Each structure stands twice: as C-alpha cells, then as structure tokens.
Structure 1
C-alpha cells in the first residue's frame, strides 16, 4: 500500500475534486504498465514478444515486458519504455534533415525515438548533465544503431554557449518532482514536498532559459514532465509564453486517452488547453505532461557571454585517414554489406587517438565534454584494425551474409565474455554473430574454429540465466 503524504492528497483533492479518489486508487491498486518500442532503423526481423496489445498513438510500440538478457534487447531491436513517456518524442514530429536537441536525454528513450525519426539524416545532440547517466545514454544509442548523434555531458547553460539559435527542435523532458511515477518508484514519495515542487520549478526555468537560446527562430520546443504538479506543468508553459512570447501549439493525438491542460491552474490562458496530460487512471501508463511551443520567427535570443578562461593551445586531435590506414580497414569491411551512412567512409572518417569515427558534427564543439561524435568504426592497432561494437549495431540495419547463428548456450556464454570453440570454420576473420536471427556483436573466427569474444566488457552479463 502506497502511503501518500497528507499534503499531497490535500492538494489534489482541491485541484481534482471527485477525480482525486480515482487518482489515489490508481496509484495504490494498479500495477505500473510496461511497454517497448521496436526499432524501425534495423532490418525487418521477427521478435519473440507478443504484439497483440499496441500502445495506441505510438508507432511500433506494444505493451509487454523486456529482459536485458533477451536477444531483442541485446541486439537493439527493442527499447523498454514507460508508455506515457513515449509521447513527447512522438509529439515532436521530427523530420529527416532537422537539427534536434534532446537536452535532458538520459537514459535514452526519447533520444532513440528522435533518432529513429531522423533516419540517419540530420543531427541529434543528446545531452545529459549526469556523467554516469550519459554513459548509459551512449550505450542505448549505440545499441539502437544511431549514426548521426553527438552525445554530450554538459550543463544546459554551457551547451547554449556553443549552439546559439541553432536547433530546429528541442525536447526538454525536465527533471521534476516525479509525482507521476509514484506507483512505479515508491521511493520518490519519500522526498516529495511542496517545497521540493517549487525547487524543481526553479530548476526547470533555468534549463528552459538555456533551451530558448539554442532554439532557432520559428523552431519548436517540446516540454514534458512526469509530474502532475501545475507549478511544473501549466505554470511553466505560461511562464514561457509570457517571458519569451512562445506560442502554445495544439497537439493532435489519435486514439489516445489523455486530458487537456487546465488554464485555471495557471494564468487562465485558454491556449493551455493545447497541452496534454496523461493520468494513471486513464489506463495508458504513468503520469505525464506534454506541451508543444513555437519560438517567434522574429526572435533571436543572444546567448549569455561566458567568462573567458585562459586555455593552453591544443594540438589538432583529429585527422583524416591515411592511405595506409584505409588499406588496413577496407579488408575488414569488405565481407559486409554497408548501409548508406558508410558509403563514403574512406574520405569522411576521422581519427582521434587511433579511434576511427564518422563525425555527426565538426563545428561548434570545441571544449565540450563529448562521449561520442557520430559513430565509431573501430580502433587502429599495430598493423591491424579492430571493428567496434557500434559498427556491428549499424551493420544490422541491412541484410548481411557474414553472420554466424549461435545456439542458446553459446549465446549466453558469449554475453558472459567467454571464447567459443567448435564453431563453423568456413567464415574467417571478423564475423557478425546472431541469436534467433538477431545480430548482436562481432566475433573473430580463427582457422581452428575458435571464436574470439569481442562483446564489450561493460555490456557483459556476469550471471548466465
């Protein structure tokens, strides 16, 4: 039984009236709903999950539970995500070729959906202020097979110093009081208070102030939270409209059970009914609030000046491939069908500290904390080239022949980090590995049938099922 704070129940009885009992009952008596999205960037393949209960309003999304040791997850074919949290990225309606920022991106649910909409054309900057969470963000985007993402670990204010009036669309899934996640994460109840709600509101304004600097004139801002609090929802949207003259745009969702925002909970602006709310008692998922706003076409917000700091001159850390290095890499790539993103790899790739990568962006990124720029082909070592795990995830976007299908015991052993023996000797060198016809890694097959393990140590499953 979830024990809700008295201050919380009193607040929502006042705001919701009779519907408050529905909210409290749903938070106490209903199990959190679990769902997943299927990766449209990957080659069409069958998955083992039931697809009988779609999440209405979201492309390729279904109710069901995903395990981190399943081939569907390991191969990047699915992403486990709370169903209501799928809507901000869907509402963004990103088009290929656009420049998109996911400002509070970790762990990556919205970023993977935005990247899927871009389909490798355009730019996704996925940022999070937490260094530990940004590492998880990187893993999820790599698994998803994203080729055009710049992953950064910066504060919004510092990021704004590099991307003034730059992005076509910005998604801000803001840190919040988390009221909408109480039944999924009961620990969130323990740190809730009305003072904490107001602290979150202040932090949200700081984040959004930086976002307004980075959005181009006429660009769109998608603002979302997982809280019910009007202070963090309608009142924040009102503040954006009043302070920056943003227009609150309508949101159209077909076959979706959601409620309109409430002008009475803010400044009576009727346009607040264009925002949407998801309540747990509506049976879609957990609590969520989403607003879609547009920056005035004539508005150019000048970025805040940063304090100048003396910096030592840095030697150029990136360079193009030499002819000799191209000759090392080409034989490794030759057995595979390359997706269009790799069609000009020999001329477009850069090298940094022996890492070969295809950059998503080469300007405006000096002195940023970057975890990944574009995608990594692999690592140059002495007289050889070792392909990256990210390359395996990208190659699975198109049909491949250099693939070895493993059985269940060998799949589990490989994820555990073991070398396999007695494998097919017909394919030599680096090969793609699959289980249930889902590509999940590179291996290196030797002439005597030993399959060397190239599954990243940080992803290995230490305990086999």
Structure 2
C-alpha cells in the first residue's frame, strides 16, 4: 500500500517528521489494522458485557469503555450489535469524547455528528440526563446518524440537519460542552479507506481549513461560560490542526488550551512556511504544544489530532430556554403539546391512545422527565430545557415514541430500543443461542408459547397484543403475540441480511 501514497503527501510528511521518523510512520501502513468496539454503558455495565461477550477483547488504554477485538471477529454479525450493546469504532476516534469529559445533566453539542459514533459515546456519558444536540449539514448522512442513536437507545437527543451559522441565534451561550469532529482531508483514513487518497488529491487542505476556521468561531458563540470545546480531526496536516488552534486562540483571548498529557504533543514548530503562512503570537504557539497527536506508528489506531479549549468564566452568557412543562402523558384526554407539521400548520392530537398503550405495556413512566410534542401524527419525548427550535431543520425533536394514527397508537422501533426490560409489562426474552433470536432479526414470524411471555404479576389480561422482544434481556424490537404466534414488527430496513 505504501507505494500508492500520494507523492505530495509523502514529501510533506518527510519534511514534517524527518527521514527516520517518517520511515517508522510509513511502516505502519503495512502493519495489521487495529479494530475496536465501545460498550454502550447506558444499556449494560462494562463488567456485565465482559461477562457475556463472545469476543476476545483487550482494553483501549485511553477509552474507559473501549476495547480492541481481533480481526477475525465479526461483532456486526452478532445479536448483541442489534441490541445496541456496543458501537464498532476505530480506537483512536474514541479519544476526543473521552477528553471532552462529559458529565450527566450537561448540555452537549456534537456539531459535525454523522454517522454518530462520537454522538453515541457522548450519549452513554450523559446516562439519559441533560440534553444532547447532534447536527450534520449533509442530509444524506443524517439517516445513519438517526439510526445509530436509535440503535443505542438514546432518549435525550435532538437531531438537526442545519448549517451551523443558522444555529447561532437559537443556541447562543447554551452548551456546556461542544465537540467539533471537523471535516478534514482525512489523511488518517488512508489505510482504512484507500479511496480517501484519491479524495485527498482532489480536495485542497486549504478548503478544509476554511471550513474548520468557521466551525470553531461558530462553536465559541454557542458555548456557555466556563464551557469546553474539543476540536478533533483524523488528519496529520498542521494547517488543519495546530494552525487552526493557534489562530483561534489569537482571535478568542477568553479561551485557553487545557494540556493533554496522555499522547504525543502538538507541534508548534510546524507553524511555518510552506505549510502555515499566518503569523501567530508567541503565546498561541506555546499553547498548541498542549494539544495532542495520536500517531499510527506510536499506538494502536489510525491517528487523530485533538485539542481541548476552555472558555473563561466571563465569556458569553448562558441562555436558559423557556421550558413548556408537560410532565407526562396527559390523562383524561389531554392534548399533546403542539408542534409544526410538515406543511407548517399547527397540529393537536389526542394522547388517549398513547396513554392506553402506556397503561397496558409500560411499568414505569419513561416519559415523565421529558416533554411530549407532536408533529403531525408523530409523537416525540423532547428533553426539557430546549430553546424554541422553529426555523431550524429538525430531523428528530427528541426520542421518537410512535405514531397516533386513526385513533390508535403505533409504537416506534426507537421506543423499543430506548426501553429496558424492567420497564415493560409484557415482554419476550430470547436467549442469543435460541435460533428464534436470529429468525426474529430476519423478520420471521415465531412460534411462542404463552408461558414464555413475561408479564407483570398484577396484569390479569391475556398475553395478546404488543410485547417487547428482547435478546438476553436486552430489547431489540416489538412483536404482536396472539394464540401462540408472534407477529414480527422488526423494521425491514434493520433486518439481518
């Protein structure tokens, strides 16, 4: 593969690294790749996952829930993947969220989120508390982002498909933490995706640097006092890394770099011709030494650059949004909080079918801490404390609960994935070794004895109707049981192929 590296890239890396270091860097391209997965601790503890894991795992040193797995393993072809118990992720890509140090209850923005690997990592850190806003301005990539959040069972996320500049008025001074996993020239992906080399030759580093500069400035305006921005790329170019941070610091004196000691340091000496034309202050040059570089020849990963930026307490003013309080599904026919439908018209629908579903199927009140909103016939549980989102392209205003259609409630797959077995009054739990588990994931109808349906002791009704289908007690979807048969409600687009 080393012979295929773009000549301009080779020459640049020799200039930056020197001959000896470049030879070690180059040798990494002929070494076996490292593969990783990250445990979804919002669904299962790390210890419990390790007890039942069918894979040989080794901890990723910089990621508390991250593990290497062997190349021959196929974690994407196991029922636990369909239960959302882990996310398959390149190991060095796990570092930025770890360095963001997300705490439950915080307001967090993933500004360039698709396909959602780092978003799901943030969600697990939040443990269902606080607000997660995820955004990507590419409409074709948002579908994968939504699917991964639903697979992970995330309840407190809002998905946007917006240009960041359009978010500024809504989220001025709002977020405690912001992740910018910036679009970049992708030099760290050459070994993983060889077509990235052709893309690198077609797109200039300067083109990406201009986008990154804008993203950093926009994120600064959406950060609350004392908040933290983590900026990351999967490229080695100093124009997209150290130069971005040095320029940002000179333009935003309220920010400081929080030094990272775990990895190799950023390189102030690379802020020079011919790669970086700007003149930076001595203070900014010194500060970029506190940023981090993850090199593929120095650790088991494809490579990353990360900077942690913290604003001074006096920077900006946190904006607390007006909150419409809807504590839970209304009883006695109370209407849902209104939202804008697709055509922009107000909608008001009765929540009685949803209330009936909750009374029949759910033990707890999973929507109690959220506010319920309806867009057309679609019901969502939206995180409390959000500002008004009118005018933005909202793909998901919260946890998608289901559709209120012609006087009945049809639960969503996202609702099933966000529930826990203990929250359901009626469920079926199949062992991962049961051949019916795989058949369910393929969309087949199953034979299920009534005695296998787990039911609330207080429920005297028959097992007929919706039940939460689980594998090893972890939800994977819905089924409808009647007379010994389970009609499969697993979505066609999710099915095992």
TM-score by length of 1: 0.88
Give the corresponding residue for 2:65. Answer: 60
Helix, strand or coil for the counterpart of 1:86?
helix
Q: Which stretch shifts more, 242-251 or 139-148?
A: 242-251
CA contact (8 A) 1:152 1:369 kept: yes
Is residue 163–residue 364 contact of structure 1 (8 Å, CA) maintained in 2? no
Indicate whether 1:434 and 2:444 are aligned.
no
Question: C-alpha deviations, 1:400-448, integer Å up to 9, x for none?
Answer: 672231664423332222222x2122432211223344321111111x2
Deviation at residue 16 of structure 1 after TM alignment: 0.6
Residue pairs, 1:102-113, within 5 angstroms: 102-113=110-121
Distance 1:220 1:327 in 2: 40
User: Who is 2:300 aligned against?
Assistant: 284
RMSD: 2.5
Q: Which residue number corresponds to residue 306 of structure 1?
A: none
CA contact (8 A) 1:97 1:122 kept: yes
Matches within 5 A, 1:115-264: 115-193=123-201, 196-245=204-253, 246-253=255-262, 258-264=263-269
Q: Secondary structure at the match of 1:297?
A: coil
Deviation at 1:66, TM superposition (A): 4.5
Describe the superposition over 1:246-284 as per-residue Cα deviations: whole angstroms up to 9, x where unpaired. 21111253xxxx211011112462121210110001132
CA contact (8 A) 1:34 1:83 kept: yes
How far 1:397 moved relative to its partner? 7.0
Match of residue 12 from structure 2: 11
Q: Determine the structure 1 residue equivalent to 2:481.
A: 445
Alpha carbons 1:42, 1:398 under 8 Å: kept: no
Are 2:430 and 2:436, in contact at CA under 8 Å, matched by a contact in 1?
Answer: no
Q: Is the 8 A contact 2:421 2:473 kept in 1?
A: no
The match for 2:334 is none
Preserved contact between residue 376 and residue 390 of structure 1 (Cα < 8 Å): yes
For each residue in 1:340-366, what CA deviation from the matched residue of structure 2 results, as whole angstroms up to 9, or x when unmatched?
743467xx4233322222112553310
Structure 1: give runs of 5+ residues left out of the alignment.
Answer: 303-311
For 1:11-90, list aligned pairs within 5 A: 11-17=12-18, 18-27=20-29, 29-44=30-45, 45-46=48-49, 47-50=52-55, 52-64=57-69, 65-90=73-98
* Distance in 2 between residues matched to 1:207 and 1:397, nearest whole Å: 41
Corresponding residue for 2:438?
A: 412
Report the alpha carbon displacement of residue 313 of structure 1 after superposing the two structures with TM. 10
| Aligned-partner SS, 1:125 | strand
Quote the offset at 1:453 in angstroms: 1.4
SS at match of 2:41: coil
What is the CA–CA distance in structure 1 between the aligned matches of 2:472 and 2:74, rounded to whole Å? 16
Matched-pair contact (CA < 8 Å) for 1:279–1:286: yes
Q: Deviations over 1:123-166 (max 9, x none)?
A: 11000111121111111111111111101111111122321121
Deviation at 1:38, TM superposition (A): 0.8
2:345 matched residue in structure 1: 315
Q: Distance in 1 between matches of 2:202 and 2:355?
A: 63
Residues in 2 aligned to 1:156 and 1:459: alpha-carbon distance in whole angstroms = 30
Deviations 1:152-200 (A, max 9, x none): 1111111223211211111000010101111111111112249611111
**Alignment of structure 1 residues 369-388 onto 2, 5 Å:** 369-388=393-412
Measured at CA, do residues 392 and 177 of structure 1 come closer, stay the same or move farther in structure 2, by a change above 3 Å?
same
Preserved contact between residue 102 and residue 177 of structure 2 (Cα < 8 Å):
yes
For the residue of structure 2 that corresponds to 1:191, the secondary structure is helix
Contact preservation (8 Å) 2:421, 2:427: no
Change (3 A) 1:88 1:344: closer
**Corresponding position: 1:265 with 2:300:** no
1:57 to 1:450, Cα distance in 2 relative to 1, 3 A: same
How far apart, in 2, do the equivalents of 1:97 and 1:318 lie?
Answer: 30
Q: Report if aligned partners of 2:291, 2:307 keep a CA contact under 8 Å in 1.
A: yes
State which drifts further: 449-458 or 45-54: 45-54
Q: Answer whether contact 2:227 2:311 (CA < 8 A) is retained.
A: yes
| Aligned equivalent of 2:494, options 431, 450, 459 | 459
With structure 2 as the length reference, what TM-score do the two structures score? Answer: 0.82
Q: Counterparts of 1:397 and 1:112 in 2: how far apart (Å)? A: 21
Higher relative contact order (CA 8 A, sep 6+): 1
